Amino acid sequence: MDEDTYTFIMPSEKVTVTVEYIKIQYKTDTKKIDEAFKQYPQDIRGKYQSAEEMEEALRTEISQVGTAGDGTAAYDVVLQYSEDGKEWITADKTHFPDGGIEVTLPYPEEVRENWEDYYFSVLHLILDPMDTGKTVGEIEAMDVTATEEGVTFTTRSLSPFVMGWEKKVATSGAYRVTLPKIENGEVTGRRYGNAKRQYTFTVTPEDGFDVAEVTAVTSTGRRLEITDNGDGTYTFTMPYSAVKIEVEMARCPSLTFPDLDVTQWYHPYADYVIYHSLMRGTDGGVFAPNGDVTRAQVVTVLWNRENNPTVDYATQFTDVPDGQWYTEAVRWAASEGIVLGYLDGTFQPNKVVTRDEMVTMLYRYEQKHGGGGFIGGSALPLPYADRDKVGDWALDAVAWCTANNVVQGKDGNVFDPQGTAVRTELAAILTRYLKTQE
């Protein structure tokens, strides 16, 4: 409540102070937006080429952030107020009550009789921010109350408004899901979910952006477990409460490298390993998506995953000298039993790694740091047509990585154990593996 102070000189006698409050009255005159659009500021008319375009933008906006599943209505509103109930003043920049103006938008005909059966929301496109700190063209969500007369709220700047409504769900066990309005993308999904059932929503990033984090929180603050389905959709089990979804976007890490194509299959995997500093560029500031993967590169990626520990371990490999970019990674991997080397005492750091070697290194890492793997060996039959070509030393690794969807076969249902992998394939395998740890 605003406070006014008054001062007088106290006389030498009793004084009675009487305060008479003036109750400000409000009324609203609504009209179609196209009748008022020509009078809107140039900033607005420059952004929207017509009243129809602006109205459609408001309807689209409220469908994303408000309650608009069953309909929308857009209004231009002439705001008026009176201090004596006789003289009505049209609100403008020079005539606007300090506490704002109470607005009541009438219900559209289709919901007027049964307004109590609906949820309502209102958005406001600011034409003149007054002293609110807002900007021209900003869209503001209003705090509304549904009354017998209409949807009521208080505004501190000038129109127009868009109202959305949605019928209340009568189904037992259905709870509200609040979807966020995000920059650099869009979140879509149902406004309600049924308890104990799967709820799925979609996040669509703008070009050049990726999803950094997705959370779903209950009305009591409990964070729900969310499954990333890998196709832009996310799923969680609906609790017996309302849920608020939050999404954080980040600039696409792949754009760091000019030779990565964000339309290719490897895009989400490249993003993951770059964002988590697991894989870095090669000479010339490129990622080299189709470049071969060497044995030194694989152990370096796993070493990066462990935040580059330094170990007191004398490497036994004759071809790993001190001071190379991979020396400490190989030293660490050897101390962990992740790499064993060849019978001639070499590690062969620059040798292109085979697919069975790559999954074996990953499997040994899992046994040491992930707490997984087989106890006593695998009894799982390999599903590949060339399973007989997988060496005995790699059977457990290939079986575990296949069972956990870390690796997938190639065309013709082959694993191709002696085939080599390119850098984007390593990125895909690492991403699938590490997501099993999250």
Separation of alpha carbons 22 and 44, rounded Å: 36
The parts of the chain modelled with pLDDT lower than 50 are: 1-2, 21-23
| Spatial CA neighbour of 242 closest among 141, 166, 169, 167 | 169
Q: What is the pTM of this model?
A: 0.51
Are residues 421 and 427 in contact, defined by beta-carbon separation less than 8 angstroms? no
pLDDT of 438: 66
Burial class (CB in 10 A: 0-12, 13-18, 19+), 87: exposed
Q: Residue 207 has which token pair?
A: 């070009």
For 344-395, what is each residue's pLDDT tens digit? 999 999 999 999 999 999 999 998 887 777 766 666 788 999 999 999 899 9
CA 207 vs CA 161, 204, 249, 250, 254: distances in Å: 30, 9, 11, 11, 12
Query: Integer distance in angstroms from the first to the last C-alpha of the chain?
Result: 50
Report the sign of the C-alpha dihedral through residues 254, 288, 366, 237, in that order.
positive
| Listed residue (130, 132, 138, 140) closest to 91, CA to CA | 130
CA gap 271, 357 in Å, rounded:
24
The predicted pLDDT at position 2 comes to 47
Tokens 């104990």 sit at which residue? 196
Check if the beta carbon of residue 295 is closer than 8 Å to that of residue 338. no
Percent helix / strand / coil, the chain, rounded to 5: 25, 25, 50
**Looking at residue 137, what is its pLDDT?**
81
Write down all domains in the chain, each with its CATH number in brackets: 25-167 (no CATH), 174-251 (2.60.40), 265-435 (no CATH)
- Give the model's pLDDT for residue 244: 93
* CA 167 – CA 116 distance, rounded (Å): 9
Rounded to the nearest angstrom, the gap between the alpha carbon of residue 282 and the centroid of all alpha carbons in its chain is 30
Q: What burial class does residue 283 get, using C-beta atoms within 10 Å of its C-beta: 0-12 exposed, 13-18 middle, 19+ buried? A: exposed
pLDDT digits (tens, 9 = 90+) for 224-282: 999 999 889 999 999 888 899 999 998 889 988 999 998 899 998 999 999 888 998 88
pLDDT at 126: 83
Residue listed under structure tokens 């005995």: 392
> What is the Cα gyration radius of the chain?
32
pLDDT of residue 22: 44
Query: Which residues, 6+ apart, have CB-to-CB distance to 138 below 8 Å?
Result: 125, 126, 129
Q: Which of 151, 123, 127, 152 is nearest to 45 (CA)?
A: 127
Amino acid at 87: E
CA distances from 107 to 66, 111, 113, 160 (A): 16, 6, 9, 16
